[in-house]
Structure 1
Amino acid sequence: MTKSAETPRPAPLAGRRVLDLSRVLAGPWCTMILGDLGAEVVKVENPRGGDDTRGWGPPFAAGEAAYYLCANRNKKSLALDFSEPEGQAILRSLAADADILVENYKAGGLGKYGLDYASLAKVNPRLVYCSVTGYGHASPLAARPGYDYVIQAEGGLMSVTGPADGAPHKVGVAVADLFTGMAAAQACLAGLIAADRDGRGQHIDMALYDSQLAMLANVGSAYLVSGKEPARYGNGHATVLPYDLFDAADGQIVVAVGNDRQFRVFAEVLMKRPDLAADARFATNAVRVENRDALLSELRREIAGRPADYWIAGMRENGIPCGEVRSVGEALTAPETEARDMVRRVPHPAAGEISLVGSPLKFGATPVVEPRAPPLLGQHSDEILAGAGYNDNAIAALRADGIVGAARS
């Protein structure tokens, strides 16, 4: 948490309520961000199993999959069957007092329950209602389900990921889902500001496909400018050189030379090769890119001749971006990770304690909330229903009818 002399104020979304009808990753990632920012997030789950990712393991912590744990901190779980009229009535009651609702059912899928935006806007005109789908409601592919792997393929990302002479690769984490979750959180916050301004909510139509296209960034822009399909460069960069993975004598390093001055220093001071710095083929980044193979051949031979520590120490001393290739474990246990408070140990109702990756949002005066463990299925059902006006007898009757699930203990 960022240190500040100012007394911390409440988290930015303190006092706001979010209904989370989403599952798996994109929607839950969005609502987790809102929960970190202080909103009360009510995760509405099917009593028969809950979020699919609860079972996506191993590994598990006391029966809870690590996959589920990564995207559901700072939430409360309500195990509710809203396929039945009684469950629908409960959700409408909760929506009447909610600020934001996030769902990722197939386009139009909640309409048959009377839980679509048009229906709930009649109950709560201020409601910000965010739908997350694969291709968007206004798409010829609106009925098609959205899967991160497919979106990475169809959205162009795989075509530029992987070795230059090999097959297209997906990214090692579900980035299309995560892009969409982050963008959806931004959209929800903007919708909330608009609702505060004029008292009217709105429907937000978020698509994994759109988010993936937007995140093509410079690669997408390069195609639009040139009309040429971008190539794959493995760990290299299409338009910056040298910017790649190299084998040193005893390990691998990444070098990210960002400008011509850095290249001159790299060649003259570290490689002891002033001839490379003076070579007209390598004088500027643009010509280095044109002569990629010739330069990389020289660099790989030189870098392989000295240990990684020599290169890392020398580049850091001379202000040249570089880094060692770490494993996930090495990254999560690095001193800078600890200094930034990015791994947190928190109590868990079944496992005793678990470790979670923390929020990257660091506020000086309105810090994110202290992380709470992702909830057990139905853990907060009684609390949420009581807050909505249901007494013990009514809750017991809902549980007996299977509308509300028993909390996992």
Structure 2
Amino acid sequence: MGPLAGLRILDLTSVLMGPYATQILGDYGADVIKVEAPEGDVVRQIGPARHDGMGPLFLNTNRSKRSIALDLKKPAGRDALLKLAEKADVLISNVRPRALTRLGLSYEEVAAANPGLIYASLVGFDQRGPFAERPAYDDLIQGGSCLAYSFIRAGQRPSYVPSAIADRIVGLAAINAILAAVVERERSGQGQKIEVPMYETMISMVLGDHLGGLTFEPPLDKGGYARHLSPDRRPYQTKDGYVCALVYTDGHWQRFFRAIGRPDMPAADPRMATFAARMKHVDEVYAELGQIMLTRTTAEWLDIFDKADVPALPMHSYESVLEDPHLVATDFFEMVEHPQEGPIRSMAVPAQFSRSKARPSRLAPVLGEHGEEILSETGFSAAEIQELRQSGALCAVEGE
């Protein structure tokens, strides 16, 4: 029984931001009902797959959920969702609010069915602003939130982080907001609508590091955290590969130079003597460290850093991380048997709870796999379920 056992969530999200959030809530014990359109979440089609609609992005973002496929454009589908909402604690959606209103699923309409519901709307932009109705995707938000520009300041071409980092970060922000609203409801007994915008959430995250001198009026500089933007802040090349290390505190630098036979440093170099001096000359410091790193192999450096108690890790590939000795020891990667897909690799829930252990409750579902089960436990009779099927409002399980 995970810490969120007993919490029921209606998940009207697709792609990555919302599904990532609801997977974590499901891993923590919530009963997550994934409401999919007849064609299913588009992420089902991304990546190599053994069966259509069961790609790896979907498998790795939709475990711990049950799936029901409803056509919400049909009155019967909309009515079925409202009946599901009557027994739900949270409804979470990343459908644009205007589209939900057209479907008759605005906050006011859903709250009429369940006044205690937490209605979480994951949107691209704060709905009070002129961008309210614009579509938003990870790439756009990375650009608008200054991430792409940060590469320019670091001496590179403007780039996107090669991961759906905005989707994932905003998904985590959504979890925070949802659980805060759940706690508040325990005190007030009232539901409410919450809104989590991608744009503002990511700007808050990025500028937490990089607002810099622009914090002040008049500005003290053009913004940017110098260490993060140093062109040599990257994995260090060694004789035979790369290593990731952060020689950061005064103690790190002293132990590092002793380990390589230069105990006179960093005191002998004013640029390295203090934390403030290193931050002021960070580009020169990192460049010099980069030259030193070329003198030994990755294995030699990892041994040196370990003995000197300096933070370091190997630079992993997608394949080598599977064999990381720490992750192997903690059973982070586990081979599990999916009822349709056969053996698949699953990742553990990172957070550890001493009593209410969090773990995946089920593997990612086939489209509409649990439709009849969900409707039946909500109070629909067999005849009503059959009627929903015949009307096309409830879609059949793939393969039926």
Normalising TM by the smaller chain, what interval? over 0.9
User: Are 1:162 and 1:232, in contact at CA under 8 Å, matched by a contact in 2?
Assistant: no
Inter-CA distance 358–161: structure 2 relative to 1 (3 Å threshold): farther
Q: CA deviation at 1:259?
A: 0.8
Letter in 2 for 1:164: A
Q: Equivalents in 1 of 2:289, 2:5: separation in Å? A: 53
2:222 is aligned with 1:229: yes
Q: CA deviation at 1:112?
A: 1.9
2:183 is aligned with 1:193: yes
Inter-CA distance 343–291: structure 2 relative to 1 (3 Å threshold): same
Inter-CA distance 196–231: structure 2 relative to 1 (3 Å threshold): closer
Q: Equivalents in 1 of 2:211, 2:350: separation in Å? A: 27
1:289 corresponding residue in structure 2: 279
Inter-CA distance 335–305: structure 2 relative to 1 (3 Å threshold): closer
2:162 corresponding residue in structure 1: 172
Question: Quick one: which of 1, 11, 22 aligns to 2:2?
Answer: 11
User: Are 1:243 and 1:255, in contact at CA under 8 Å, matched by a contact in 2?
Assistant: no
2:51 is aligned with 1:62: yes
Task: Please state whether the residue corresponding to 2:68 is helix, strand or coil.
Answer: strand
Q: CA deviation at 1:220?
A: 3.1
Q: CA deviation at 1:231?
A: 5.5
Aligned-CA RMSD value: 2.2
User: Are 1:244 and 1:255, in contact at CA under 8 Å, matched by a contact in 2?
Assistant: no
Letter in 2 for 1:35: G
1:35 corresponding residue in structure 2: 26
Task: Please state whether the residue corresponding to 1:328 is helix, strand or coil.
Answer: coil
2:11 is aligned with 1:20: yes
User: Are 2:77 and 2:393, in contact at CA under 8 Å, matched by a contact in 1?
Assistant: yes
Task: Please state whether the residue corresponding to 2:24 is helix, strand or coil.
Answer: helix
Please, which moves more after superposition, 155-164 or 35-44?
A: 155-164
Please, which moves more after superposition, 356-365 or 124-133?
A: 356-365
Map Cα deviations across residues 211-261 of structure 1 (whole Å, 9 max, x no partner): 21122132235542455334697xx6348x996422111211122012112
Inter-CA distance 74–221: structure 2 relative to 1 (3 Å threshold): farther
Aligned length: 395
Question: Quick one: which of 118, 134, 138 aligns to 2:124?
Answer: 134
1:203 corresponding residue in structure 2: 193
Q: Equivalents in 1 of 2:261, 2:170: separation in Å? A: 43
Q: CA deviation at 1:307?
A: 1.7
2:338 corresponding residue in structure 1: 348
Q: CA deviation at 1:106?
A: 1.2
Can you give the 5+ residue segments of structure 2 that lack an aligned partner in the other structure?
A: none
Kindly report which structure 2 residues correspond to 1:254-403, keeping only aligned pairs within 5 A, or say none. 254-270=244-260, 272=262, 274-403=264-393
Inter-CA distance 346–307: structure 2 relative to 1 (3 Å threshold): closer
Q: Equivalents in 2 of 1:322, 1:347: separation in Å? A: 35
Q: Equivalents in 1 of 2:288, 2:101: separation in Å? A: 63
Q: Equivalents in 2 of 1:288, 1:369: separation in Å? A: 44
Runs of 4+ in 1 over 4 A off after TM superposition: 230-233, 241-244
Q: CA deviation at 1:363?
A: 0.5
Please, which moves more after superposition, 281-290 or 175-184?
A: 281-290
1:4 corresponding residue in structure 2: none
Q: Equivalents in 2 of 1:194, 1:254: separation in Å? A: 42
Q: Equivalents in 1 of 2:177, 2:287: separation in Å? A: 46
Task: Please state whether the residue corresponding to 1:203 is helix, strand or coil.
Answer: strand
User: Are 1:107 and 1:142, in contact at CA under 8 Å, matched by a contact in 2?
Assistant: no
Letter in 2 for 1:329: E
Q: Equivalents in 1 of 2:283, 2:82: separation in Å? A: 63
